[in-house]
A and B are shown apart, each in its own frame.
Chain A
Amino acid sequence: MKQILLVTDGCSNVGMSPVVAAAHAKSEGIAVNVVGILDYGDVGELGASEIEEIARAGGGLSRLVNMRQLSQTVQMMTRKTAVQTIQLAVQKELKQVLGNGSIEALPPEKRSEVVRVIDELGETSKLQVALLIDASASMKPKLRAVEEAIHDLMLSLQARQGQSEIAVFHFPSSKHGEDCKLDLDWTDNLKGISSIFTKFPMSGTTPTGPAMMQVIDFYRQGDYGKKSRNDETDGMMSDYVV
């Protein structure tokens, strides 16, 4: 299971549309969740609708929250989306086996069986979450809450039985030719890491779309050499259903 979690507080303003980028992610088997942080006011109508649309294109969830709710929301969305990913894979299999794709349409006894499988896979499948943090000037006072949410997410992921990893990026990057900067490569442990964002650039631009494309590319490079994507969950499912 692969996810991108975008944390932002406003609109993208440079480069490719983040909605298109999110659709790219989805086609690569990566679900995109979006959290919009409201501080003293709101992200604006434009920001709110963009956030919702990115998540829709990326097959994930979106929420507008204030800083206090950030940790709980991030943790919850990640979990829900993981279950949803499994659910979709299961539904695909069900369609083949039963000629019926909807879990809700099953009678309660059958539903119970299917949900048991979903829960089991949700707990044991490998999960990767790439966090993509908007570090434009307006986000600066919120970065501490973001760091807290990342630590909190790691704690929840560590409690899973399956392997879980996170990576952290922020954008924009001060380096020329780079749309986002990798702060933390795949890890399953944040011990000893007190500050993830050591130095962040001050730049007015918010290249959300290009940054997301770079994260997709990062996923792709990580997969390079492994035989094929997506087959992990599919294969496991057949063991259960057949």
Chain B
Amino acid sequence: MTTSFKLNLRRGAVVTGKWKHSRYRVERLLGEGANGKVYLVHADRGWCALKVGIDAIDLQSEINVLQALEKQDRKQTYLYEVDDLLGEDGKEYPFYIMRYVRGVTISDFLDKNGPEWFPLIGLNLLGKLAELHRRGWVFGDLKIDNVLVADYGYVELVDYGGVTAMGKGIRQFTEIYDRGFWNAGTRSADARYDLFSFAMLCIMLHEPKKLHALTGGLPQIRSTEELERLIGECKGLAPVAGWLRQALGGQFFDASEGAEAWRRLLHRRDTRVKSAKTPGWLKGLAAVSAVVLGISVYWLLRSGI
């Protein structure tokens, strides 16, 4: 549900904070969503991202999460400044300044750089989720729009509006990525919730049309079996099909366990190389894994992403 949001900051405009008086020069719009707009701005400290909100309470609630995260993780800066700005319409709008994340969506990255990057990006993304899970948080609104990929498959999460302390109700989610929507579990924040969304994100990257078609069906028949059938039919997902089924079924305890399994899957090739000079009785086994190990080849050949 997009709310009409009249505020528009033009390129070159200078925003001055009401409380702290810092000045920011607007470069361009980075993106917008249901809760506000994000601009690339220039400040004394260099390039930053400015998120201006529609609703002061909603934005503050997101800021509170960022502040809580920052307290736990001194290595990373999530938030530079919080202030209000005066719009052209004479109204005040709350905003905050965060680190500018350079990058493109996963789908754009794969289109440009090739599908063989997918396994690594997936692994990096699981790593990001694992960091949150370790600190007792669930990302919540994991979807293509909220992940940015930079050079060499480096991954960053953006939009912390859905981040929820474990045990509470997920604060923001998107239906098609939501475990509840697929009749596969609750909307309470647990690490498995993110892994479910991660699996949906993988399906969305490979089979967006078929996935959207499934959402049209009756809610009673919406189920993970439907999703599993879709996964089974998708060649691009074959190497991780088993992993995805486990994630949809909530079988990984958290993202670090999921990442471990994902990594094992991707490195089976090494295992095979090592076991190349194995006794004959193992050859059968090796042949079986050779099929599984074609992963990278699969991805190289697939361009359907």
Contacts and interface: CB of A to CB of B under 8 A. Distances in A.
Contacts of A119: 61, 64
Interface string A79-92: 00001000100000
A158 B60 contact: no
Interface stretch (A134-142, A147-155, A185-193, A213-221): A147-155
Nearest to A107: B19
Q: How large is the interface on B (under 10, 10 to 19, 20 to 34, 35 or more residues)?
A: 20 to 34
Contacts of A71: 175, 181
A95 interface: no
A116 B180 contact: no
B180 A103 contact: no
Interface residues of A, number: 30
Contacts of B128: none
The 8 tightest CB contacts between A and B, nearest first, are A159-B169, A159-B187, A115-B60, A108-B82, A159-B188, A148-B219, A155-B180, A104-B56
B175 A112 contact: no
Contact of A112 (B64, B170, B180, B220): B64
25 contacts: A63-B1, A71-B181, A83-B57, A87-B57, A104-B92, A104-B94, A108-B19, A108-B60, A108-B63, A111-B60, A112-B67, A112-B82, A115-B64, A118-B57, A119-B61, A144-B218, A148-B219, A152-B180, A155-B180, A156-B187, A159-B168, A159-B170, A159-B187, A159-B189, A161-B167
A123 interface: yes
A194 B92 CA distance: 48
A109 to B, nearest CB: 8
Given A152-B181, A152-B219, A161-B168, 7 more contacts: A76-B1, A108-B60, A119-B64, A155-B180, A155-B186, A159-B186, A159-B187
Interface string B271-288: 000000000000000000
Interface of B: 1, 19, 56-57, 60-61, 63-64, 67, 82-84, 92, 94, 167-170, 175, 180-181, 186-189, 218-220
A151 B182 CA distance: 12
Nearest to A109: B82
Contact of B186 (A151, A158, A161): A158
Nearest to A114: B60
A69 B63 CA distance: 28
Q: Tell me the dominant secondary structure on chain A's binding face.
A: helix
A229 interface: no
Contacts of A104: 56, 84, 92, 94
A151 B219 contact: yes
B175 to A, nearest CB: 6
A161 B170 CA distance: 11
Contact of A116 (B64, B168, B219): B64
A179 B275 CA distance: 77
A156 to B, nearest CB: 5
B19 to A, nearest CB: 6
A118 B171 CA distance: 14
A26 B167 CA distance: 32
A238 to B, nearest CB: 20
B209 to A, nearest CB: 17
Contacts of B189: 159
Interface in A95-148: 103-104, 107-108, 111-112, 115-116, 118-119, 123, 144, 148
B187 A155 contact: yes
Contacts of B220: 194
A103 to B, nearest CB: 6
A146 B156 CA distance: 38
A111 B56 contact: yes
A151 B83 CA distance: 40
